[in-house]
Amino acid sequence: MSSPASTAKENATLLIVYDEKEARDRLRKIFEYAGYRALTVSDAPSALRVIHTEQCDLVVLDLEIHGADALALCRLLRAQPATKTLPVIALSASSDDSRKTDAFAAGVDDFITKPSNPDELVSRVISQLRSSQREWDLIGSNRELRFLADLGRGLLRAIEPEQLVSRVAGSTYEGTGAVLCAAFVNLSTDCEKGCVFDREGSAEDISLMHLDRLQSWLASTGAAAPVLMTDKSSFFLREEVHQVEYAVPLRFGGRAKGALVVAFDRREDLGETECRLVDAAAQQAALAAHISSLYQTARESSTTLAKEVDRRTAEAEAQRRFTEAIIDSLPLSLYVVDSDYRIVAWNRNRELGELGIPRGSVLGKNIFNVLTLQNRAMLSEEIARVFESGEIERLEHEATRSNGETKHWLISKIPMWIDDSGRVSHVIAVGEDITTRVEANRAVARAEKLAAIGRLAAGVVHEINNPLATISACAEALESRLHEGAFSQIASEALNDLRDYLGLIRSEAFRCKSITTGLLDFSRARASEHALLDLSDVINSAARLLAHQQRNGKVKFQIQTPDEPLPPLSGDAGQLQQAIIALATNAVDAMPAGGILTISARHEGGDVLVEVRDTGVGIAPENIAKIYEPFFTTKEVGRGTGLGLAVCYGILTEHGGSLDVQSTLGVGTTFTITLPAVNKIGESKA
C-alpha cells in the first residue's frame, strides 16, 4: 500500500460511490491510510448531493451500482461546468473491451478491473490527481499568459511615457485585483511620469504617491529586488486603509527606470500568483520604459540624425560613382561573373567599339549567352580553372575587325574573394589592347633583322661587285669587237647568237648591279646631309618624276596638300623623295587594271603625315608582317627585287619617323609616313 509521502495534492478529498458497504469501507481505509480524506456513498443521487456540498478532488465509481446507471452519472458530471474536469476512476468486474469503450466514452478518466490491488488503486489515484493539478496549473498559467499578452499588446502602442504608465498601472490593477496600483518611470531629469489607479478604478496623477520615498528607494541598493511592505510608515501610496504593498523596480541594463506598486486590503489577497503577475508586468514595463527612452532620444535628435544619414548616404553614393568612374576610365575592357557564370559588372569600355554591348542589356545574364562569338568550351574551361585554382589566367588573343584592322589583346582572368571562406566567389575578366606594344615589338625585331641583313648585305655586295664589273666589261668589249667585224669569219647564224648572248650577259650583269646597288642603299649608314625642307615640295617633285616614268594611262594621280604651309622638316630631300616614289611605284603596280593613286599631306600635332593611298588589289593579312623584309615580294619574277619597302623603312627610321600600313583585299592599301616637325629653334618636336 502506498505511503502518505507518495501522495499527490495533500489533503485531497476522494468520493467513493459503491453500493456494497464492505467494499466501501475497505476502499475508504485504503485511501485514508494513503493520506487522503475519503467520503463514501452508495448510489448516484447521494453522490451528486455530496459533490455539490463538498469540495471533492476525485471520484471512485463502481460501474455495477444498483438503482442507477453509473455511466449516466459520469455523463451528468461531464455535462456540468463545475464538474466537467473532476477526475473519475471506474471500477468494474468486467474486463470486456466493449465495457471499457463505453466507460471511456461516458467520460471516465481511468478503468480498473475488480478485484484490484490496493497499491494499484493508490497509484492510479495519485496519477489522476497529478494530472488534475497540472490542468489547474495550466489554467493559472493561461491566466498569466493572457494578462501578459494583453499588457504586451497595449505596450506596443505606448511609446510616450504618459501612455506607458497609464497602460501598465491599469492592466496590473485589473489583472491582480489590487485595490490600488501605481506605475512610475524616470527616463531623464526632466521626464518623470506616474499614474495611480484608485479604489474606484480612476486614473490619478503622482500626487497619490510618496514620491520622495519611492525615488529614495529606487536610488538605493535595495531597489535591485521586489519588496513586500506591511509597515504603513514605509508605504509608497498615500492611502491609509490598505494593509500591504508590493513594489517591483523597473530595471533594465542594471539601472532602475521606475517602479510598479500594488496594494491590497488583506495579506491573503496577495498570493503567489499575484506576485508573479506583478513581476512579469514590471519586466515588460522596464523594457517598454527603455524603448520609450530610446524613442524620446531619437525624436529629439531626429533632425540631426536625418541629416547625418543623408550626408553618409550621399558620401556612399559618391564613393560608388567614383569607384565606377575609375573602373570605366581604365583603358581596359572589364567584366565580372559570379559562380553561376552570371555577369555582375560590365565597364564602359565593354560598351564601346565594334563589338560593344550596352551594360543594361547584359547584367544578370549568363556570360555564354552574351559572348556568343567566343568558343564556349574554351571560355568555360578558362573561367572554371580560375574558380578551382584561385590563380590568374593570362593569354594573348588576335582579332581582325571588319575593316581588316588587326587588334591584339591580353586577356587576364583574375580570381576574387569577398569573404574568408577561401572559395573564389567571382572571376574578373580584363582585356587590355596591346596592339601598339605588339607592333612596337615586331618593329624592333624587324629593325634588328634588317640591321643584321644590312650588315650581311654590305659584306656580300663588295665581294660580288668586282666579278660583276669584270663580267660587264668583258661583255662590252666583245660587243665592241663584234661591231668592228672581228668575228666576220663566223657564220651569220652563229654570229647572231653571239650578239644575243653578249647582250643578255651585259643586261643581266647590269641587273645584278642594280640589285647590289639597292643592297648598298639598304645597308649603308645614311649620314646624308639634313636640312630644313618643305614636305610639300618633296611630294610635288616626286609626283612630277612619277608622271614622266609612268606610261600607264589607266592610273589617275591625285596630289592633296593643305593650303596652309606645312611645318618644316629636318631631313634629306632626295632620300624622302626616294621613299615616296618607292611607295607610289608599288601602288601603281598594285593597280594593273587602273585606279586612283592619292598622295596627301597634313599636319597633326607635332608631326607631318604623308599618305600614299591606292585602290588596288590590297595586301593579304598574312603578308602584312613580311612586307618590310628584304627580298620579300609578291610581284612576278623580274618585276621587283623586294628591297623597295625595306629601303623605304630604313630611310624613314633614320629620319625619326615611322611607316604604317592599312590594307583590305579588293579595296586598296594606304601607307602612312609620319615625320617629326621642327620647332622654332630648329629642334625636332618628336
**Does position 54 have pLDDT exceeding 70, yes or no?**
yes
Query: Any idea which of 97-101, 123-127, 273-277, 435-439 has the lowest mean pLDDT?
Result: 435-439
CATH of 157-300, one of 3.30.450.40, 3.40.1390.20, 3.50.50.60, 3.40.50.300: 3.30.450.40
Which of the pair, 448 or 663, is modelled with greater confidence? Answer: 663
- CATH class, range 531-676: alpha beta
**Does position 7 have pLDDT exceeding 50, yes or no?**
no
Q: Is 356 helix (H, G, I), strand (E, B) or coil?
A: coil
What is the CATH T-level fold of the domain 4-140, as seen in this structure?
Rossmann fold (3.40.50)
638: confidence class by pLDDT, cuts 50, 70, 90: very low
**Size of the chain in residues:** 686
Give the pLDDT score at 363.
85
**Does position 223 have pLDDT exceeding 50, yes or no?**
yes
**Does position 124 have pLDDT exceeding 90, yes or no?**
no
9: confidence class by pLDDT, cuts 50, 70, 90: low
CA 289 to chain centre: 40
**Does position 505 have pLDDT exceeding 70, yes or no?**
yes
First to last CA, the chain: 120
Gap between the Cα atoms of 285 and 194, Å rounded: 13
Query: Any idea which of 197-211, 578-592, 626-640, 644-658 has the lowest mean pLDDT?
Result: 626-640
Q: Is 637 helix (H, G, I), strand (E, B) or coil?
A: coil
**Does position 685 have pLDDT exceeding 60, yes or no?**
no
228: confidence class by pLDDT, cuts 50, 70, 90: very high
Gap between the Cα atoms of 364 and 372, Å rounded: 16
Which of the pair, 59 or 346, is modelled with greater confidence? Answer: 59
Question: Considering the chain, what percentage of its residues have pLDDT values greater than 70?
Answer: 83
The hierarchical CATH code for the domain 331-433 is 3.30.450.20
Give the pLDDT score at 139.
59
* Exposure class string for 476-502: b at 16+ Cβ within 10 A, else e: eebbeebeeeeeeeeeeeeeeeeeeeb
Q: Is 332 helix (H, G, I), strand (E, B) or coil?
A: strand
- Residues with Cβ within 8 Å of 472's Cβ and at least 6 positions away in sequence, in order, are 505, 506, 509, 510, 513
H or E segment at 413?
strand 406-416
pLDDT tens-digit map of 255-294: 888 899 999 998 888 888 888 888 888 888 888 888 888 7
Query: Any idea which of 133-142, 208-217, 326-335 has the lowest mean pLDDT?
Result: 133-142
Average pLDDT, the chain: 80
Gap between the Cα atoms of 118 and 375, Å rounded: 90
Q: Where are the beta strands (DSSP E) in 189-275?
A: 191-197, 203-204, 227-229, 244-252, 255-264
59: confidence class by pLDDT, cuts 50, 70, 90: very high
Which of the pair, 115 or 420, is modelled with greater confidence? Answer: 115
Give the pLDDT score at 404.
61
> Do residues 651 and 526 make contact, with C-beta atoms less than 8 angstroms apart?
yes
58: confidence class by pLDDT, cuts 50, 70, 90: very high
Locate all alpha helices (DSSP H) within 92-234, ordered by sequence.
Answer: 97-106, 118-156, 161-176, 211-219
pLDDT mean over 354-366:
78
Give the pLDDT score at 454.
64
**Does position 518 have pLDDT exceeding 70, yes or no?**
no
Query: Any idea which of 17-21, 447-451, 640-644 has the lowest mean pLDDT?
Result: 640-644
Is it true that 157-300 and 531-676 share their CATH fold? no
pLDDT mean over 115-125:
86
1: confidence class by pLDDT, cuts 50, 70, 90: very low
Which of the pair, 527 or 176, is modelled with greater confidence? Answer: 176
Which of the pair, 169 or 155, is modelled with greater confidence? Answer: 169
pLDDT mean over 610-633:
80
Using a 10 angstrom Cβ sphere, with 0-12 exposed, 13-18 middle and 19 or more buried, the burial of residue 360 is exposed
> Domain map of the chain by residue range?
4-140, 157-300, 331-433, 439-523, 531-676
What is the dihedral sign for C-alpha 76, 80, 82, 86?
positive
Query: Any idea which of 433-442, 454-463, 483-492, 493-502 has the lowest mean pLDDT?
Result: 454-463
pLDDT mean over 370-376:
80
pLDDT mean over 396-405:
69
pLDDT tens-digit map of 554-580: 888 888 888 788 888 888 888 888 888
pLDDT mean over 72-93:
86
Q: Is 429 helix (H, G, I), strand (E, B) or coil?
A: strand
pLDDT tens-digit map of 167-186: 888 888 888 889 999 999 88
How many Cα atoms are found within 13 Å in the side-chain-facing hemisphere of 224?
4
Which of the pair, 5 or 621, is modelled with greater confidence? Answer: 621
613: confidence class by pLDDT, cuts 50, 70, 90: very high
pLDDT tens-digit map of 425-481: 888 888 777 878 877 777 777 666 666 666 666 666 656 766 777 787 787 777 777
Residue 285: count other Cβ atoms within 10 Å of its Cβ: 31
> Do residues 223 and 217 make contact, with C-beta atoms less than 8 angstroms apart?
yes
Give the pLDDT score at 8.
47
497-501, 572-576, 632-636 — which one is most confidently predicted on average? Answer: 572-576
Give the pLDDT score at 678.
82
Give the pLDDT score at 542.
81
> Position of cell 665592241?
480
**Does position 14 have pLDDT exceeding 50, yes or no?**
yes
Using a 10 angstrom Cβ sphere, with 0-12 exposed, 13-18 middle and 19 or more buried, the burial of residue 532 is exposed
Q: Is 373 helix (H, G, I), strand (E, B) or coil?
A: coil
